Amino acid sequence: MSGKERREQLLDIGRHLFAERGFEGTSIEEIASRADVSKPVVYEHFGGKEGLYAVVVDREVGRLLTLSTQILGGEHNRAKFEGAAIALLRYIEDNADGFRILVRDSHPASGAGTFGSLISDIASQVEYILGDVFTERGYDPKLAPMYAQMLVGMVAVTGQWWLDARKPKLEEVAAHLVNLAWNGLSQLDPKPRLSAGVTGAKRD
């Protein structure tokens, strides 16, 4: 096995173990054992468990950001929104190990961003789209960042839940996401207010 092939093998094994057991529950010993190599081979390629974990996380972050950039480009209509929902759920389905790693905060020693920072990066792209939509419809574009966080968070959290539940089918989940998000955006109240009589927490 070439050095490049060995590195990819170790990354695949580490990715699976980190997804299954988390950073703390995974050991260099088991990674080396599953690859049928000695521990020094793992250290030679990655410098340790932290280095291996950082590469795994960085790859997943890059993969999801690339996907998000692709699906957010171009014209935005209901069909595009539906395609985006399916694409993100398909990513979760096809990259279950990688997504499970991302939804945990990265280990501090890895130097990689957390899932929260990744979501913020994607939300920043959505923010520009919503800003234009809000301006066209007479809504306050300064609220776009908040709505972007709401939309992206809704998809991400639903994806986490669906990864374990696996019901209903992917296309049905996407349809319901679009139903809530698209219909909600199309019926936005420019100046929403809470119902009369509803107040915040009592103050002393």
Predicted confidence (pLDDT) at residue 89 exceeds the cutoff of 80: yes
Residue 145, domain extent: 3-186
Q: What is the mean pLDDT of residues 9-18?
A: 95
CA angle 108, 100, 119 (to 5 degrees): 70
pLDDT at 41: 96
- Please indicate, yes or no, if residue 155 is contained in any of the structural domains: yes
Distance CA 158, CA 60 (A): 19
Distance CA 88, CA 99 (A): 11
pLDDT at 108: 40
Predicted confidence (pLDDT) at residue 36 exceeds the cutoff of 90: yes
- Please indicate, yes or no, if residue 168 is contained in any of the structural domains: yes
Window from 77-86, 106-115, 160-169 with minimum mean pLDDT: 106-115
- Please indicate, yes or no, if residue 193 is contained in any of the structural domains: no
- Please indicate, yes or no, if residue 41 is contained in any of the structural domains: yes
List, as one string, the DSSP characters of the chain. Answer: --HHHHHHHHHHHHHHHHHHHTTTT--HHHHHHHHTS-HHHHHHHHSSHHHHHHHHHHHHHHHHHHHHHHHHSS--SHHHHHHHHHHHHHHHHHTHHHHHHHTSPPPGGG-PPPHHHHHHHHHHHHHHHHHHHHHHHT--GGGHHHHHHHHHHHHHHHHHHHHHH--S-HHHHHHHHHHHHHHHHHT--SS--PPTT-------
- Please indicate, yes or no, if residue 47 is contained in any of the structural domains: yes
Mean pLDDT highest for which of 15-29, 66-80, 151-165?
Answer: 15-29
The CATH number given to whatever domain includes residue 181 is 1.10.357.10
pTM over the 0.75 mark: no
Tokens of 129: 């789209």
If one counts the domains in the chain, the total is 1
Predicted confidence (pLDDT) at residue 112 exceeds the cutoff of 70: no
Predicted confidence (pLDDT) at residue 6 exceeds the cutoff of 90: yes
